[in-house]
Structure 1
Amino acid sequence: MMSTDSTPQSGLPGSLFDLAGRKVVVTGAASGLGRIFAEALSQSGAAVAWVDREAEALAACEAVGVCDCRVVADLGDEAGVSQMAEKVLAWCGGKLDVLINNAGIATRPGRLLDVQAKDWDRVFAINLRGAFLVTQALLPALIQSGRGSVVNISSYLGTVGVYPGFPVTAIPYAASKAGLIGFTRQLAIEYAAEQVRANAIAPGWHSGTRLGRERDTTGGAAAVAQMDAFVEREVPLGYRGRPADLVGLVIYLASDASSYVTGQVFVHDGGITAR
């Protein structure tokens, strides 16, 4: 006979998504998806620490009154991550509720023989090693929260191989994003007992991302047209996602609405991997 949990469900459904009083860190927060996430989390009631390597871009965010805490840091540098963590821990009082590992870079699209070792090292230093360093530095504060949530921004390119007759990415990016998925799942298992959850979001073709900018600027108008044709042909919904389309999923994973969800990968791709 299946047992039932009689623990009462607290609050109305809307309150499950309430982030009031939560302390959140977003990396890569000064532009692109990171800025959209940081703004949305702030609007949902969270106090947000914005972390980015671009000092001027962060200053611009603070100028419009959306930064609760601003930290300039190169996440590829271990000492820089340590300094960032000191500032964040002082700000949050040693108790952090949510970490959004969004910072990431891409190289220009190309096949394996076009890739140089320095490109591989640079991408892995930020996309995977950076996420490891940041999470390791802030994990004690997430444990202290008692409801810590880590959200890693991976990519659908970390779940499938894609080559529609022309390069849409490069192997360092795809491999690093696949590694981030493995990192997420192992983290979820290792710290479940401490009530720290870890999940990944794997966006498909979205505008406003670093990969999208690399793709669109490398080959000019011809590359954009080629990519648009690929998206229209392969994505069942028929268009690139918008950054705002990801906001609901980020808030869900940051909030109590996902309190029983950990170790999962949410592919957000307009249906392309459902084919």
Structure 2
Amino acid sequence: MLLKSESVQLKGVAIMTMVFLHLFNRAENVDLCINSVYLFNIPLTSQLAKFAEICVPLYLFLSGYGLYILYLKNNNISPSRRIFKLYLNFWTVFIIFIPLGCFLKPDQYPGNLLNIVENVTAWRTSYNWEWWFIFPYIILLSFANVLFKCIRQYGFWSIVVSSKPVKYFDEKGKEWITFVPLMAQKTMPSVWVKSPKPYKEPVFMIPLYEGKRVTAYMHPITTQTNTKNLHITGSGCIYYFKVKGEDVARAFWMSSAIGVKAMLKIVFKDFPEMKPIIKELDTDKFYEDPTMLIKKFDEAK
């Protein structure tokens, strides 16, 4: 267990890391420096600034750790008092610096009444975007007692399992992708391991098809190969299906073109109705869209 003094020291490291990030995360700031060391034709300072982005998560983790220890002692972290104290500190800085903004940049500060309310409450910190983390932190404080109670009674993953699906915006595809937490097998079934054990904790998957009795999912995976002179990152996925009423999703496809029908027979050994479907399976179409097999499974009687 961390001592309070050690936690404070680590918070100090997080703060100094944040200062480093804000000084050197912009190319125009780095260009003002005398850069002598480069990594992949990029100043080492800029490369290190990327790692400095850990500052807010680190500070948030340390704050949550300390609050949880306090909750274990008192069964309450007094969120209202902490939020009020946070707002007082925030408003103190606000009162000192925002009037200077009104004097130096009257076209930007204070704006209309809505801008003032948004910034005073930290709902939308357009006066200083570096204050973005204040309102999310306030939300976490508001629900901290409930979250800590669930963690103490049911474990950390109870928060993940009971939470709503996570949405991620794919910049390349310009679309939102939904991830849902599920208990799932660690690997594909095989001749040697016909019923693989599930992960100890839920993993996040992308829903692909939802039928009356079965749902198909995709679990993205990433591989890395590192040598002295080489760094290769690869990506792939494992396809899963989950029969309604079952607790664990079963893996059924992992981009292996060898012996696909024999492998699928092992996967669906508990479902006799799949034998003729697998026998007549068009493997070319299956390679293009593995979920087509799950659709046939859903329609089978």
Structure index of larger Rg = 2
Q: Which one scores higher on RCO, CA 8 angstroms, separation ≥ 6?
A: 1
**What is the TM-score normalised by the length of structure 1?**
0.22
Greater strand fraction, Structure 1 or Structure 2: 2
